[in-house]
Amino acid sequence: MFGNLFEEEEEEGFSSIISRGRVAKGGDEPPPPRGRSNLCGIKNQGGTCYLNSLLQTLLFTPEFREELFNLGPEELGCLEDKEKPGAKVRVIPLELQRLFTRLLLVDQQSATTADLTDSFGWNSSEGTNQHDVQELNRILFSALEHSLVDTTGSTFIHRLYHGTIVNSIVCKECGNVSQRQEDFLDLTMCVSGVSSLEEALWNMFVEEELFEGNNLYRCAQCDRLVTAAKSAKLRKLPPFMTMSLLRFSFDFTKCERYKETKRYSFPLTINLKPFCEKNDEDDCDYSYELFSVIIHKGGCYGGHYHVYIRDIDQLGQWEPPEEDRKPKMQQQQVREEVKEVCEPKLKEDDPLSVLTAVIAQEPSKSVLLDQLGQKLMDKIGSSWSKKFRKHYGPIGKFLQSHNDVFLLVSNGTRVALKANPPSPVTEPPGPPEQTTNSDPPTAPDSGAADKRPELKLEGSHWFDLNDSTVTSIRESDIEKQFQGKESAYMLFYRKTQLHRPSEALNNPQYKVPHHLIQLAQEENIRLRQTREECEATNNTVELRLHLAPCYRPENGALQPISKERNEGTALSFDRRKTVGDLRLAIYQMQELWEGDMALTVAKSLPAGLHLYNTLIDDSVSLYSAGIYTNSDLFVWNGREVCGVSILTGAEWEPVLLNVVRPFMGEDREQKLEEGVECLEGRGGFENGGPGLKKEARGFAGGATLWDVKEALGEPKESLLCQEHKGGRTERQEQGAGEGGGASGWRVFPPDDMQRTLKELSLKDGDALLVLEPHSFDSSAFTLNGDVVTVTTPSDCRWLQVEFRPHGDGEKEEERRKIKVPATGNMLLCEVKQRTVEELQLQEQLSGAQYCLRQVDCTGKLLPPVCEELSVRDAGVRLMTTLTLCPGNAPKASQLFLHFSVGAAPSAGLEMDIIVEKTCTVKECLKAMLDAVRLDGTCWHLRRLDWCEEVGEALMDEDASLSELKINNGETLVVTEGQLPPKGFLKLSVWLYTDPRNNSTVSMQTDFNHTDNGHAEEQMPVEATAGETRGCLPHLCGGNMAELRSVGQVEISDEVSLEDLKIQVLTLPALQDVCVPTTTFMRVWQLEGRRLVRILRGQQQTLRKLKLTSGTELCVQQLLTEEDLGPKEVLLNVKMGVPGKRCYYPPEELVWDASRDSSPRSLRTCLAAHYGLSPDSLRLAKHQPDKHTWEEMSNWNQQVSKRKKKKKAESLLGAPFHLKDGDIIGIKNLLIDNNKDFSTLEDEEGQQRLREQAEQRRKGEQAAGSLKKAETTKSRKPEVALSINVGVFR
């Protein structure tokens, strides 16, 4: 249910309403067009599925839609005038008109309700709160009725939806009838104990309730208690009848809510004649037909809504669901018979033959990878898992092992035959949910129409509108919603007498005002142009060209001659063009090139650049050749480099090995100067003894161990050893703790010397120990069989109460202390009473008021505790000290507040007051003024911020202190002057600094004073963000940095982010800072001592950025310009050290998630950043609060073939919710076998969490059994639903 958290708004116009968050930057992707149903969905803001379902129901209620469109600007006003003073603009119906226009006429997959919810007065958090759709139905209709007062549409809600019930009580003795009439908007139908809607209506309007026995009725005519019968009937039927099903009930035995999931049927058509007061009219006057069913999936504390709707005006394109879409035409049967005669018999036991036949029968000779399994089942009647998996493995591995037959294209999403690779011109488009931005635009297949059954569908059909997704369903699917956790929740019926005019059918513009049609047409033109531009951009690939003259062969790979040319030459090229076009373009770039030119796909490996397949056919497109963004191409003559023949192909991939040799201690300084790493921790000695040295060397994967020994220049009698991984780690770690340990190495047997590195499964990063015979003369090396061992040196239940008869005045030796036995359930008043008795203070305290107060670490008295509460409920910890001193103790309904007049109070000089929690701000201010004997009305209250400075004002004087979340012990400042105007923000500004890095000195100017003269302020912050590119150090997990206060700014919420940065730079503490432009400054928002998000969009207003008064910001200087897009995420990435449980220093990476937010996209981005293959990377997100790593899988979850295909997993949504500053750990599987991402620091953190949980558990057991309400799972507090409406009378 969570929508996109990275969307932002455009500046103005109808386009901002159509595609909120689409800021044109670098060819940002436009919203996709409508799907095959030709209907538009609604985006979910995080928890607004209930709103989306109701809005779609109202849209597909033609009479409601047309009544709304009949209201013109002369009655409703214009949205452009809503900010003008005195203008009466009815915003809610205007925004509803625009939303309906977008849903009807704009060619996009889904529309947003952001502007509509803004007109409701909802803030950003309201979009994530779940509410009941029945409650929304009543509140929305009430808001519309209030908004349309004194207009021609003021009564249309009442005319369409309101009916009348008459309740009657009949006296059984005199026959007197007492009646009471009541109006209804919807009928609430009982579900518990009832099996159908008809039964519930019968119980409500036919069955009578008898008043008899002890429950008699007083008759007004008989003037005594008599037997009577009570009944209800429908007196007036509305055109639209809404039925709300009471699915949620309360179990008084368990004291909890639950959802009724049993079967509850309802008819598609219903006759309400038996339930009406007058039933002498025709049956058609009482007949209703079902046209909308709102469905709830989940439990009583949360879930998801979607809606089944009958398309009355036939606005959508209905087609049979996929499981029913089977060809039944005689013409297709004839084609199949001809096919069986012409084609040879298929070898169904040969998977290679079957898959080849499946792909070959497609017009484009290619199949989407996720559709291959279904097409295989259609071909042979059995799935791959059932028929071939046992003998041939997974289908993906089978395709990869037969790469001479099959070719994976479109970033691995489509498989084709290698002899006939798919052409981007003839490739058929897939369904909307399966196409990706990386695929080129495709022309419609001429034979596509033959594949679909040519059904001429007449009449209205049903659709499932599930937020942004719209799918066709059959009428019989409604019966599936009779029962279960996913079941019908609201039913909407319309009278069968309501007929639609013929001109309304298949006409979405019917009755839509002309000015709204014109706005929609302009937006469609803009969307069409944007899509064309995006299509051209999406087909541009970024290539890296590596020229042969810039490389030399070394260590089994190609090494750059100059480090400056290591990155290659960048080239942007259209992948729809051919290899020949690319070759010609390179010829034009390299005018001095002589001879033949070969283009070979290359890859940067740890050992160097390696070549794979050469592009031979100049007629194929780059897309068909498998060339995609960030591909490396090596430009050479196809034979040799620097006079040396180059071995190409996967079998000759170079391997980077760590060659380890023994060395003597006196050689250490020389080796360090030569750049050779000395492994003191894995084999070094103290006091100048012998140790090991390590050197990275690359070798061709097809080279044998003999070739390796010769390349190293070692004598024939030398031994080559591989690190023995069986028991090394445990011994080494054990030794490390004691200052020493040992590691084991296995000597390669003679037979292995003729085997290649690939055959021996040696990978990048593996260690190879080289020993000469004389090495065993040292005690450090021991040979035992074929194993070489390298040895290295190496009671609490009490409270203390202190009596202070004069507060803080007396000396320490004059104070009297006593330990009082106490438990968590003991009331504080009992603690006070025992203290008085033990210290014998009855006479001394007679007639005086004394209270218990806690003391902080500095000895300062904290606010008095409420003596009506227990020790635990008051937050008092056992084994601590309380002070008994003069003063009143607040009650549970009261607040103890400090206050001062004029300025922030100095320590010990503030005054105290006790007020009720329900007291308003105005009443609290008056009480404080009376306490200090001040008069006048030009005063207002302000809070203190966390750094003890005067903060934001309490703007709402009629709000209670509890509503404003003013806590016990808080300090308020009585400030002279009127309240500041609304819309002005007071923002605290902090500077991100790190004492470990001197590179930030340019931003660390003189902070020994602030603008108000107070001493320097520092706040440690747990930062989740990483370093600015090349400027600030990275901070991960639990590392602490410092934020230095640079002051506060007061600024309007209508200014832009750029204006805010300019004003921040004018603060006195930042006067010496030199920033070329504001794009060299990054602004973070602080929440809970964390850097939580980067403010984006230079021209975005502070109000659109959701900044409120009191928000804390953090500024960070950059060395390069930065302008992050709405879906560009700033991540901290760090590569794991091979073989160790630690990471290299982290780096910043900006990941563009606008086109694709799946794990595959992030993996491809990281692979391009590190120059590695995407398949060799393993990713995980760090959870600093839990000290755990959450691994990101490369494959989507497999689902049953009978279920609908799921969309690709998005890292921006559940369960990862990637955001700015998140830490991503990376494992290079080519050189690192350790798949565990956790470090020793993570284990220590988890151990601390376990110890804290155990302490809490023991504390709960010691305190006794808790109430069940306290042990239940904490849930998000329920918030009342409301819609704010202006006054239009």
Catalogue the active-site residues. 49, 304
Residues 6+ apart with CB under 8 A from 536: 574
Q: Which two tokens stand for residue 268?
A: 């598609």
- Give the count of beta carbons closer than 10 Å to the beta carbon of residue 506: 12
Burial profile 1128-1149: b = 16 or more Cβ within 10 angstroms, e = fewer: bbbbbbbbbebbeeebeebbbb
Q: Which two tokens stand for residue 943?
A: 């809070």
Note whether 1046 and 974 are within 8 A (CB). no
> What whole-number distance in Å separates Cα of residue 1169 and Cα of residue 826?
61
> What whole-number distance in Å separates Cα of residue 734 and Cα of residue 617?
59
> What whole-number distance in Å separates Cα of residue 609 and Cα of residue 558?
5
- Give the count of beta carbons closer than 10 Å to the beta carbon of residue 276: 19
Three-state DSSP class for 677? strand
Torsional sign, CA 387, 388, 389, 391: positive
> What whole-number distance in Å separates Cα of residue 1204 and Cα of residue 323?
10
Residues 6+ apart with CB under 8 A from 734: 741
**How are the residues of the chain apportioned to helix, strand and coil, as percentages rounded to the nearest 5?**
25, 30, 45
Element (H, E) at 886: strand 881-886
Strands 287-299 and 414-417: unpaired
Note whether 864 and 889 are within 8 A (CB). yes
Three-state DSSP class for 1093? strand
Strands 240-246 and 187-190: parallel
Residue that is written with structure tokens 């209508």 in the block: 1054
Note whether 711 and 699 are within 8 A (CB). yes
Q: Which two tokens stand for residue 714?
A: 């070692």
Burial profile 520-545: b = 16 or more Cβ within 10 angstroms, e = fewer: beebbebbeebbeebeeebbebebbb
- Give the count of beta carbons closer than 10 Å to the beta carbon of residue 455: 10
Note whether 710 and 695 are within 8 A (CB). no
What are the Cα distances from residue 346, in Å, to 336, 351, 881, 1019? 14, 10, 87, 74
Three-state DSSP class for 1070? helix
- Nearest of 455, 722, 423, 696 to residue 577 by alpha carbon: 423
Residue that is written with structure tokens 């520092």 in the block: 1018
Strands 1112-1117 and 406-409: unpaired
Note whether 456 and 329 are within 8 A (CB). no
The answer to whether the bond into 363 is cis (omega within 30° of 0) is no
Give the chain's end-to-end CA distance (angstroms, integer). 39
Q: Which two tokens stand for residue 804?
A: 């202070």
Tell me, rounded to whole angstroms, the distance of Cα 285 from its chain centroid. Answer: 51
Q: Which amino acid is at 1030?
A: G
